[in-house]
Each structure stands twice: as structure tokens, then as C-alpha cells.
């Protein structure tokens, strides 16, 4: 056999061997249609599932749910975390199926974070954490001409939500993300007047009502607000708007179209330290200390450097001889008949502007 012929036969034999080997590999790589998938080929991991309702509104409550699935072969211990990109009110404790289900709450400029301990979740088991929260009152309407935010950058009606699970070593093992979207028109239905709860009287306002707010903004937040007038000092007619906060009547006093002061004449609304209409002068002094006094709105008024921006009208019948009132002569039992949130000075002996 010539050398050339022998070479051709060798090359043909090599090619046939390679073809047979390739076919065998293909046969091993393609499983039969009836061959079950081996469980070992399925990745085992921890999963976090986040449920966010789709019909949220300002100043209304709804529930967030986080389900943790332990698909590993080991018990899972660590912590479950839930973050909302806004300062929401936590209404009730979680209803998780674990012994210790009370969430720890942390507030920051970015939002509200809740966390629960997760102890020894068995392999193949799951548990659910449910948390009811209340969204904040509607913000003041945007001024005309201000560019509206796009859906991607909207931080006024869209709040990011993130849930994540950390192991006992603090490392993140699962995460899920979603968003709370405030429905259009809810600022009128539940924007912060008739439905708002647990508001405090502060130097800036009461609940969603603020000093220097425009009357049009008040009507947007409080669609039930009605215009009213009454005789003021020296026979002048004053204008305002009657609204209700947490079921309590409130009078918004206007200067032109701007809120000049806010007046409370009935018991129910209180300051952050718990005083209001019906409290005694002794109650006020016990909480605020140094007391200033003068005449305002036709009655004796007291105010406190420790509580700027708020004045209290008393039922005392004492008559001052001049613009200054001797606070030491006022009876400790005198009760508050009226509160004003207003601008002005707050030191003695200057009388607060009204």
C-alpha cells in the first residue's frame, strides 16, 4: 500500500472516530422527555415576597405584607426588614406567626423602617409579616407654573417600598421591591381635615392647616370648609373659614387670602404637652413655666416663651388698667376658653400680635 493511500485511510478513521464520540456526547446531553428533573439541580435559597396594595390614598390606612420562604436545608434565623420611603404611621403590631412579632420602628429623613426578629424558620417553611400603616396627609398643592414630576421621579405621590431578609451574620440573603402609589383625587377625599386624627396644636398650625397657607389651599385640603364672618375689635368685620379637624371645629382667620391665625374654641385639640381648652392656668404654668399675660381678642391672654406661637385666652374676669396685665394677679383656677396659633413675639412683657 502506498504511503499516500495509507494517509488517506488514517484521516478517514480519525474523522469517523470524532463523529462517533460527538454523537455519544449528544445522546448523554439530551435527557429523555419522561426523565424527571433531579432535585439537586434546583437552586435552594431564601425568598422574600412583598405585597403592596394598589389603591392607596392620603391619610388612609392599608396593609403591607412580607412573606419569607426558607427553601434551604438549614433553619433560618436573622431579621426581616421593611422600608417605606415616607414617614408613615404604624397603626398595629405585626400579625406574624412568630412569638415575638412586635416590629422595631426607626424614622429618618428618607422614610420609615420596620424590622422583626426571625428565629429558626424551618427548612421548607414560610412565614408572613403583616403591617397596617397610615399614609401622611396630602401635601400642600403645587404652585402654578411648577414643573410636575414624571412617574419615574415622582416622590410626592409615589413611595418606594423595599423588603429584605438578613441572616444571623447580618448579610442580606433575599430582597424584594415595589412602590406605594397614591391614587389621584385622594387629597380631596382624605387629604387631612375631616379624616385626620391625633393632630397637635403647634406654633406652625394644626395638622394640615398652616399659618401663611393660601385660602385656596385650605379649600383643596378641606373641601367641607365654609366661609364665615364675625365682628372683630373696634367694630371691624373679620373673615375666615370654618373647618373641622379630627371632628373638632376650627376657625381659620384670613388676612386677604392668607391664613393669619387659627383659633380653637372647644375642647378636644391639645398641644404636644396635653393642654388645651378646659385646662387651668395652673396646668399651663406647670408645663411651660414662665408666663406672660396681656389682653387679646377682648379677653385676658397668656403665652409662654417655652411654647412660642400659641396663646391661651382665659375665662378670668380680671380687668387690666392698661395694656399690661399683672400675671401674678390671675387666679390659678382660671380656665382656657380659647387657643390661638399666630405669629408674633413670645417674650414678656410684649403682647402677642393677633
How far apart are alpha carbons 23 and 142 in whole angstroms?
A: 71
Do 46-141+153-186 and 200-341 fold alike per CATH? no
Cα separation, 311 vs 323, whole angstroms = 16
Peptide linkage before 248 cis (omega within 30 of 0): no
Dihedral sign for Cα 68, 72, 75, 76, please.
negative
What is the edge-to-edge ordering of all strands in the sheet holding 172-181?
Answer: 104-107, 112-121, 76-84, 158-167, 172-181
Does domain 200-341 correspond to CATH entry 2.60.460.10?
yes
CA atoms within 13 A on the CB side of 298: 6
pLDDT for position 83: 95
Q: Would you state the pLDDT for residue 339?
A: 93
Please provide the distance, in angstroms rounded to a whole number, between the alpha carbons at the two ends of the chain.
Answer: 123
Predicted local confidence at residue 61, as pLDDT: 74
Instruction: Look at residue 316 in the predicted model and tell me its pLDDT.
Output: 61
Region of 124 (left: φ > 0; alpha: ψ -120 to 50; beta: rest) is: left
What is the pLDDT at residue 59?
A: 66
Please state the domain extents for the chain.
Answer: 46-141+153-186, 200-341
In this structure, whether the domain defined by 46-141+153-186 belongs to CATH 2.60.40.1510 is answered with yes
pLDDT at 146: 46
Please give the Cα distance from 342 to 296 (Å, whole number).
Answer: 12
Condensed to tens digits (0 to 9), the pLDDT of residues 295-331 reads 766 688 899 888 888 999 998 664 444 556 778 888 8
In this structure, are residues 349 and 324 in contact, taking their beta carbons and an 8 Å threshold? yes
What pLDDT is stored for residue 241 in this prediction?
A: 92
Which parts of the chain have pLDDT scores under 70? 1-43, 59, 91-102, 137-156, 185-192, 194-198, 233-234, 296-298, 316-324, 345, 349-354
**Residues across the chain:** 354
pLDDT of residue 259: 93
Amino acid at each position: 500500500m502506498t504511503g499516500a493511500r495509507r494517509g488517506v485511510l488514517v484521516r478517514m478513521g480519525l474523522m469517523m472516530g470524532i463523529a462517533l464520540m460527538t454523537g455519544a456526547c449528544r445522546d448523554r446531553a439530551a435527557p429523555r422527555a419522561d426523565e424527571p428533573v433531579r432535585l439537586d439541580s434546583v437552586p435552594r435559597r431564601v425568598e422574600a415576597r412583598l405585597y403592596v396594595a394598589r389603591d392607596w390614598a392620603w391619610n388612609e390606612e392599608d396593609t403591607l405584607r412580607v412573606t419569607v420562604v426558607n427553601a434551604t436545608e438549614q433553619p433560618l434565623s436573622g431579621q426581616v426588614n421593611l422600608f417605606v420611603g415616607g414617614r408613615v404611621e404604624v397603626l398595629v403590631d405585626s400579625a406574624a406567626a412568630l412569638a415575638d412579632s412586635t416590629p422595631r420602628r426607626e424614622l429618618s429623613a428618607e422614610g420609615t423602617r420596620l424590622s422583626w426578629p426571625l428565629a429558626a424558620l424551618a427548612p421548607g417553611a414560610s412565614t408572613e409579616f403583616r403591617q397596617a400603616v397610615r399614609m401622611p396627609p396630602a401635601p400642600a398643592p403645587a404652585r402654578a407654573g411648577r414643573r410636575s414630576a414624571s412617574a419615574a421621579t415622582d416622590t410626592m405621590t409615589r413611595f418606594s417600598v423595599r423588603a429584605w431578609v438578613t441572616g444571623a451574620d447580618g448579610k442580606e440573603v433575599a430582597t424584594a421591591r415595589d412602590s406605594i402609589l397614591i391614587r389621584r383625587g385622594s387629597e380631596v377625599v382624605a387629604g387631612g381635615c375631616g379624616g385626620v386624627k391625633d393632630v397637635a396644636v403647634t406654633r406652625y398650625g394644626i395638622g394640615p392647616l398652616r399659618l401663611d397657607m393660601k385660602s385656596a389651599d385650605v379649600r383643596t385640603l378641606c373641601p367641607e370648609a365654609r366661609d364665615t364672618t364675625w365682628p372683630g375689635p373696634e367694630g371691624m368685620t373679620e373673615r375666615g373659614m370654618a373647618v373641622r379637624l379630627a371632628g373638632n371645629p376650627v376657625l381659620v382667620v384670613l388676612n386677604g387670602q392668607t391664613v393669619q391665625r387659627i383659633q380653637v374654641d372647644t375642647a378636644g385639640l391639645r398641644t404636644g404637652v396635653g393642654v388645651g381648652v378646659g385646662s387651668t392656668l395652673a396646668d399651663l404654668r406647670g408645663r411651660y413655666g414662665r408666663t406672660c399675660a396681656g389682653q387679646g381678642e377682648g379677653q385676658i391672654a397668656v403665652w409662654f416663651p417655652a411654647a412660642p406661637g400659641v396663646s391661651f385666652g382665659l375665662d378670668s374676669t380680671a380687668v387690666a388698667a392698661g395694656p399690661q396685665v399683672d400675671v401674678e394677679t390671675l387666679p390659678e383656677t382660671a380656665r382656657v376658653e380659647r387657643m390661638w396659633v399666630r405669629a408674633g413675639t413670645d417674650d414678656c412683657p410684649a403682647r402677642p400680635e393677633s
